[in-house]
Amino acid sequence: MAKRKLFCEINPLTYAISLHKEIIKRHVKNCLSHERFTVRRQEAKLPVVVYSTSNNMIKRGPGIDAVLQQNKADNIRLACSKINGLVVWPQETFSFWRVVGKTSKRNGFTEGRVLVNGRLVAGVGGGLCNLANTLHLLALHSSLTITERHYHSDALAPDPDGRHVPFSSGTSVNWNFLDLRFRNDTDQPMQLCIWTEGDTLRAELRTTVELPHFYRLTEEDHHFHLEDDGKYYRLSRIYRETIDKATGNLLACELIRDNHSEVMYDYSLIPPEQIR
For 198-217, write each residue's pLDDT tens digit: 999 999 999 999 999 999 99
221-247: average pLDDT: 96
The dihedral over CA atoms of 238, 276, 231, 164, expressed in degrees to the nearest 10, equals: 40
The dihedral over CA atoms of 35, 36, 41, 45, expressed in degrees to the nearest 10, equals: -90
The pLDDT, as a whole number, for residue 184 is 98
Separation of alpha carbons 100 and 97, rounded Å: 5
Kindly give the residue spans of alpha helices, DSSP state H, lying in 89-213: 96-100, 128-140
> By the 8 A CB rule, do 201 and 79 touch?
no
Separation of alpha carbons 189 and 95, rounded Å: 16
Supply the pTM of this predicted model: 0.92
The pLDDT, as a whole number, for residue 118 is 66
166-205 in b/e form (b: 16+ CB < 10 A) is: bbebbbbbbbbbbbbbbbbebeebbbbbbebeeeebebbb
Non-local (6+) Cβ contacts of 149 within 8 A are 136, 171, 180, 181
Q: How far apart are the first and last CA of the chain?
A: 27
> By the 8 A CB rule, do 155 and 262 touch?
yes
Residue 27 corresponds to which amino acid? H
Non-local (6+) Cβ contacts of 139 within 8 A are 146, 182, 205
141-170: average pLDDT: 86
Non-local (6+) Cβ contacts of 93 within 8 A are 35, 36, 37, 38, 147, 181, 182, 183, 184
User: Which residues on neighbouring strands pair with residue 95, listed in sequence order?
Assistant: 181
**Beta strand pairing status for 171-172 and 150-151?**
antiparallel
Tens digits of residue pLDDT in 43-95 = 999 999 999 999 999 887 777 788 999 999 999 999 999 999 999 999 999 99
156-172: average pLDDT: 81
Separation of alpha carbons 225 and 233, rounded Å: 5
Kindly give the residue spans of alpha helices, DSSP state H, lying in the chain: 12-32, 66-83, 96-100, 128-140
Non-local (6+) Cβ contacts of 145 within 8 A are 182, 183, 184, 185
* pLDDT category of residue 153 using cuts at 50, 70 and 90: confident
State CA 127 to chain mean position distance: 10
176-181: average pLDDT: 93
